[in-house]
A and B are shown apart, each in its own frame.
Chain A
Amino acid sequence: MGYGIRLLIWGNYACFTRPEMKGERVSYDVITPSAARGILESIHWKPAIQWVVDRIHVLNPIRLDNIRRNEVGSKISEAKIKSAMKGNEEDLHQYPNDDRQQRATLLLRDVAYIVEAHFNMTDLAGPEDTTEKHYNIAIRRSRQGQCFHQPYLGCKEFPAMFRLLDKDEMIPSVYHGEERDLGWMLWDLDYQNNRSAQFFRASMKDGIIDVPWIKKGMVI
């Protein structure tokens, strides 16, 4: 794990939606490993590498806020598009006023995290994919604020700011000296396995969550 990276991530709002409460979204108390992986991937990712989140530092107090928005209820129908592509007359538009859902979001505010992560090489790595190369790209991009697309905190409307932490730089957590059980949290989706969700028992000690390794559908 000589190729670890430590990223400071912060933003005004965040919503890491709990899968059991997604009709009216309720955020987890802290960022999930899968959301953290998404942020890393928005900075640098290639099929040759796979990001693994090792630890998450929760720097700011966990505070929640409620926002209700008008949303649309349905998604684009594939059948209709196929038919339109063949030249049939189809109304492809979506009329949000006729298909309205008002949904509340219980979101986090003023969040800041340190994400410690590393990457593994995958089977898709070619001869030119060295760990040094990918590590250097990731470091350079996160230092210069470069990204593939702006990363976000759970939902796209909550952009994430990020910067690389210096070698010895440490930012204290408000939860220092405390221990807290965060319950079962989403670890990530298993994309090899029909995108099944995998969970882990998250506990925060001194503001730090140790993210476990995953093995064959089981988190240990």
Chain B
Amino acid sequence: MSEVIQNRYEFVLFYDVENGNPNGDPDAGNMPRIDPETGFGIATDVCLKRKIRNYVDIVKEGADGYDIYVREGGVLNLQHKKAYDHLGIKPESKKLPKDKELARQITEFLCSTFFDIRTFGAVMTNEVNGGQVQGPVQLAFSRSIDPIVPQEITITRMAVTNERDLEKERAMGRKHIIPYGLYKVEGFVSAHLAKKAGFTEADLQLLWDALTNMFDHDHSAARGKMSSRKLYIFKHESVLGNAPAYQLFDLVKATKKDETRPARSFYDYHVEIERDKIPDGVTMIEK
């Protein structure tokens, strides 16, 4: 196993969507989420966490220590129902079942078994304090660079669901898409919480891979074409960090090249980072 991470990180990910719906709003009939005051598009943190989980699940195929706790129903797989005795929990631990110690063991077991618990944390039932894992990776809501304009598209299907509708011959449905949107999400990795959860350098690399590749394994009729475009990682020299997060986030900017035209591709944007202003003790990694 590789080492637990020793540095604080922040990251900024730009991803875009073409003719798709990045994150539907259950309150608005599955229209793309939109900030009603500004018209900017939104995607929730949990939406991206789901994709990270799915990516890791696909890549690691349930390898030891990379199981995914919060699973999608579709990948229900009995082979994961294996026993976990390889962990060799010492029987003498049963002799002294001091609540605190047991809670610690349970947390440790969960962290070492499941990638998503190690990364995002998890809450365990009942009053045993300590059965709660605070994950090192924290994601905020994504927001589009410019206001988005959702379109409703009516589609037809040349078949019907019910026999009684047979004479209708076809059914009509709706899809919501946005023609184009560039989104930005900001995230944080705490080295201290990584130590508690056992989040390693290898896990971190896997997280970066997931952020870069997650959309490539998430294609569906609703999503259209989604891609990760740019990932900027700020690595602090120290565990606690060498600069405030907001200063680093402010260095990264995306601007539209031609303000008079609606953007329709990533190349309509100019993404830049003020390299000369990166504070001492922080290195920037581009992916």
Which residues in A have some Cβ–Cβ distance to B below 8 Å? Answer: 12-13, 65-72, 75-78, 81-82, 84-98, 102, 104, 109, 141, 144-150, 152, 156-159, 161-163
Contact = CB atoms under 8 A, between A and B. Distances in A.
Nearest to B71: A93
A115 to B, nearest CB: 16
Interface in B153-193: 186, 188, 190, 192-193
B126 interface: yes
Kindly name the residue among B46, B84, B102, B143 whose own CB sees the greatest number of chain A CB atoms within 10 A.
Answer: B84
B72 A141 contact: no
B30 to A, nearest CB: 11
Contact of B68 (A87, A93, A147): A93
B27 A12 contact: no
B188 A157 contact: no
B144 to A, nearest CB: 13
Contacts of A76: 69, 110, 122-125, 131
B82 to A, nearest CB: 7
B223 to A, nearest CB: 16
Interface stretch (B225-233, B239-247, B258-266): B239-247
A69 B85 CA distance: 37
Interface stretch (B13-21, B134-142, B206-214, B270-278): B134-142
B81 A91 contact: yes
Contacts of B35: 65
Nearest to B89: A85
Nearest to B87: A85
B26 A147 contact: no
24 contacts: A12-B143, A13-B141, A65-B35, A66-B27, A67-B33, A67-B42, A68-B25, A68-B26, A70-B46, A76-B131, A85-B87, A87-B85, A89-B82, A91-B80, A92-B114, A93-B69, A95-B73, A145-B244, A148-B190, A157-B44, A158-B140, A159-B186, A159-B188, A159-B245
B44 A145 contact: no
Contacts of B102: 82
B151 interface: no
Contacts of A95: 71-73, 76
B180 to A, nearest CB: 23
A92 B128 CA distance: 19
B83 A84 contact: yes
A98 B190 CA distance: 32
B149 interface: no
A99 to B, nearest CB: 9
A85 B91 CA distance: 10
Contacts of B241: 144-147
A62 B141 CA distance: 20
Contact of A93 (B80, B188, B240): B80
A200 B83 CA distance: 50
Contacts of B83: 84, 87-89
Interface in B63-77: 67-74, 76
A77 B244 contact: no
Kindly name the residue among A84, A87, A91, A144 whose own CB sees the greatest number of chain B CB atoms within 10 A.
Answer: A84
A160 to B, nearest CB: 9
Nearest to B106: A81
Interface in B96-132: 102, 105-106, 109-110, 113-114, 122-126, 128, 131
B106 A150 contact: no
B109 A94 contact: no
